Structure 1
Amino acid sequence: MSARSRIRPLATTGAVVALAAAAGMSLTACGSSAAAGAPKGAPSGTASTLKLGYFANVTHAVPVVGVGDGSYAKALGSTKLSTTIYNAGPTAVQALLSGAIDAAYVGPNPAINAFIKSHGTAVRLIAGGASGGAALVAKPSITDVSQLAGKTVADPQRGGTQDIALKYYLKNHGLGFTGSGGKNVNVVSQDNAQTLTLFKQGRIDAAWLPEPWVSRLQQQAGAKVLVDEKSQWPGGNFVTTNLLVSTSYLKKNPRTVSALLGAQVATAQSITADPTKAATELDADLGKLTGKKLPEAVVVAALKNVKVGWDPYASSLKELASHAAAVDLLSKDADLQGIYDLGPLNAVLQNKKLAVVSDGGLGAKGSS
């Protein structure tokens, strides 16, 4: 069935007004997530509705394109697809934990926080989504991280993946972010569109952002990349986007989850096979979601910095958890055992004669 999308009010004062405006006519809200039971005549394990969250970012290219071209809805068959757009992961996982949505594409740190907050019961990571596509951009006059002392640096949301990456990087370079003094950096968390506006106005000096905002600040505001996050990881591989699902939804609706994963794999393959076509589609889809057409060539440049797929890069998740603990945004003794359930994904991959992926030892008993 056709996907129906809605824009969820964002948690920051600078929420994307354009998103809400775009939602007025072409995007409609869905009903309560309490809808249960399989559609009439559907096989057992099929949900009547899938409520899916994701971001209007290039790092979420797979759901943006897959929902936009109808591939996800087609794969889900009789299950009605309803989607919600978020600015950052903490808001999305809050919706997931509250039952407002059933699954969401989010960054690794919000997924970890949701798992820990629910004592390992409420959510499971069932796939990756993207690697790369995040960077620290700054004014051209700033050529070294030491020059950020006393400056204002933005990220999408406190506790989010880029927020932790930024603070961990600052800490490792002898800079603070919680107080005052000559080596303190003023870190502000806000909507990405607001960051672009304030950077143009000279009111912020740098930002750690996901694509397409890295490319947008470069092309529209004259920013330069100070740190490409890929440079901080062996081989440049680290998880940027995961697919997180409600544990109860996963258990009750295995056929629907399998269909969702199948659509993700097929869409990722399509993007990889023809990135030029994918960039055109992604550009159009992002324009519809945000209510504004992106400047020419932004999406093409941004997509080159992102590796789409389904590998969760589980080893990087462990490291990201340690980064969060190092900046006091996660307990140092946080237990991630059981956060992954890659069984459904690996079944899809085997059916497509593709290599299975590893959970890095963080799966529940009996999972891959």
Structure 2
Amino acid sequence: MSRAGPRGIAAALFPALLAAGLVAGLSGCSASASADAPAGGPAAELRLGYFDNVTHAPALVGLEKGFLQDSLGDTELTAQAFAAGPAVIEALSAGAIDAAYVGPNPAVNTFVQSAGASARVVAGAASGGAALVVRPGIDTPADLAGTTLATPQLGNTQDVALRAWLGTEGFETDTTGGGDVRITPTENAQTLALFQSGEIDGAWLPEPWVSRLVIEAGAEVLVDEASLWPEGAFPTTVLLVGSDFLRDHPDTVRALLAGHTASVAWLDGHADEAGAVINARLAADTGKPLPGAVIERALGAVRFTTDPLAGTFPTLLRAGVDAGTAKQGNLDGLFDLSLLNAVLAESGADPVSAAGLGAE
């Protein structure tokens, strides 16, 4: 059975170092144009974070096809790709970005840690598209004893999901890589390389990385996260906006949401074209598109929706607390779906619910 060696340890440290350096660099920039706009009016600039993942397709499509910029009008859109949720939250907290597509657990963490002051979830983006993939020979949960598994970053949504699931299976883990199953937070591309070289035994990942490990590295799915939720519905990506930006520029946030809903609607209505558009953005960001089989498989696992599935968030918070990556706290006010529901009403769509955890 493989063990994480020096390369695995280095990979575990890399995301934190990258996040710290990135945030420091962004924070050192001059004040954004959005800060120069009068409070209450449209912002001069909106700085948006996102990931190069299929679970962030509303952002990828919205950028590639221009839905977001078109809706924002004279507000300049500046977009920045990140590797994982905690790094995005660091940038948002440092004032380096104004809004972000991010996993639900980092959104919960920043809200709780700031006593509700930092940010608001203003829309959902994606449901599904996460799984635990393992090397051949691991056929049951019991086979995981003594193995090393990867997640994108400590405290990110897949990291919490893995730790919570392992707990239900009777395994102990800790946030320093100890326990019955060792968890090594690792940047996704490095996870693929480590799995191919046999230095890790599996990983809990979002798409397209699940499909990449399955198709390119011979991994097998041990747990599809959808199987753990009622009707398979769980949030993978939400749209989060800094509270100050939302307060000062509600018109700009509403415009962002109009572009976001247009992107989700396009994805729902153009399944045959979605892979090519997503790949075009990925190629622009990373220099390399995904193989056709990978993106086809990945898209089949994800549902795009503006509904953040707010009713699942207390469960997500409890999982983070149990995993040792979150603090217990009050989620009242986490959601502000009022602007989203205004946009949906204009198109005749049904409103989405905050499940009693905020405005709608």
Same-fold call, TM > 0.5? yes
CA contact (8 A) 2:122 2:336 kept: yes
Distance in 2 (alpha carbons) for counterparts of 1:124 and 1:151: 37
Q: Which residue of 2 aligns with 1:207?
A: 203
Secondary structure at the counterpart of residue 45 of structure 1: coil
Matched, 1:13 2:14: yes
2:168 counterpart (162, 169, 172): 172
Distance in 2 (alpha carbons) for counterparts of 1:121 and 1:275: 38
Distance in 1 (alpha carbons) for counterparts of 2:179 and 2:52: 34
Q: Which residue of 1 aligns with 2:311?
A: 315
Q: Which residue of 2 aligns with 1:105?
A: 101
RMSD, matched Cα: 2.4
State, as a whole percentage, how many aligned pairs show the same letter.
46
- 1:142-171 per-position Cα deviation (integer Å, ceiling 9, x unaligned): 111111111110000001100000000001
Q: Shift of residue 183 of structure 1?
A: 7.0
Distance in 2 (alpha carbons) for counterparts of 1:360 and 1:192: 33
Q: Which residue of 2 aligns with 1:47?
A: 43
Between the two structures, name the one with larger relative contact order (CA 8 Å, sep ≥ 6): 2
Segments of 4+ moved more than 6 angstroms? 14-17
Number of aligned pairs? 341
Q: Shift of residue 14 of structure 1?
A: 6.2
Secondary structure at the counterpart of residue 289 of structure 2: coil
Q: Shift of residue 276 of structure 1?
A: 1.5
Q: Which residue of 2 aligns with 1:362?
A: 357
CA contact (8 A) 1:177 1:187 kept: yes
Q: Shift of residue 133 of structure 1?
A: 0.5
Q: Which residue of 2 aligns with 1:65?
A: 61
Unaligned runs of 5+ in 1: 1-9, 18-28
CA contact (8 A) 2:121 2:241 kept: yes
- 1:325-364 per-position Cα deviation (integer Å, ceiling 9, x unaligned): 11222233x111111111000000111110000001100x
Larger proportion of helix: 2
Q: Which residue of 2 aligns with 1:265?
A: 261
Distance in 1 (alpha carbons) for counterparts of 2:252 and 2:233: 29
Q: Which residue of 2 aligns with 1:119?
A: 115
Distance in 1 (alpha carbons) for counterparts of 2:311 and 2:246: 23
- 1:11-64 per-position Cα deviation (integer Å, ceiling 9, x unaligned): 9526999xxxxxxxxxxx98643642449xxx9621000000000000000001
Aligned residue type for 1:350: A
Q: 1:208 and 1:30, CA in 2 relative to 1: closer, same or farther beyond 3 A? A: same
Secondary structure at the counterpart of residue 306 of structure 2: coil
Q: Which residue of 1 aligns with 2:24?
A: none
1:353 counterpart (323, 338, 348): 348
Secondary structure at the counterpart of residue 36 of structure 1: helix
Distance in 2 (alpha carbons) for counterparts of 1:174 and 1:224: 22
1:343 counterpart (338, 344, 349): 338
Aligned residue type for 1:36: A
Q: Which residue of 2 aligns with 1:33?
A: 32
- 1:95-146 per-position Cα deviation (integer Å, ceiling 9, x unaligned): 1011000001111110011111211112111011100000000012111111
Q: Shift of residue 285 of structure 1?
A: 1.2
Secondary structure at the counterpart of residue 199 of structure 2: coil
- Structure 1 stretch displaced more, 226-235 or 171-180: 171-180
Secondary structure at the counterpart of residue 204 of structure 2: strand
Q: Structure 1 length normalisation: TM-score?
A: 0.88
Q: 1:12 and 1:34, CA in 2 relative to 1: closer, same or farther beyond 3 A? A: farther
Matched, 1:243 2:239: yes
CA contact (8 A) 1:135 1:208 kept: yes
CA contact (8 A) 1:54 1:105 kept: yes
Distance in 2 (alpha carbons) for counterparts of 1:297 and 1:306: 15
Q: Which residue of 1 aligns with 2:158?
A: 162
Q: 1:93 and 1:262, CA in 2 relative to 1: closer, same or farther beyond 3 A? A: same
Distance in 1 (alpha carbons) for counterparts of 2:179 and 2:70: 53
- 1:177-224 per-position Cα deviation (integer Å, ceiling 9, x unaligned): 2299x9711100010000000100011101000000000000100001
Matched, 1:96 2:92: yes
Distance in 1 (alpha carbons) for counterparts of 2:192 and 2:252: 38
Distance in 2 (alpha carbons) for counterparts of 1:14 and 1:109: 17
Distance in 1 (alpha carbons) for counterparts of 2:333 and 2:175: 36
Unaligned runs of 5+ in 2: 1-10, 19-27
CA contact (8 A) 2:117 2:243 kept: yes
Aligned residue type for 1:192: N
Q: 1:91 and 1:245, CA in 2 relative to 1: closer, same or farther beyond 3 A? A: same
- 1:296-341 per-position Cα deviation (integer Å, ceiling 9, x unaligned): 2211110110001210100111111111111222233x11111111
Q: 1:14 and 1:338, CA in 2 relative to 1: closer, same or farther beyond 3 A? A: closer
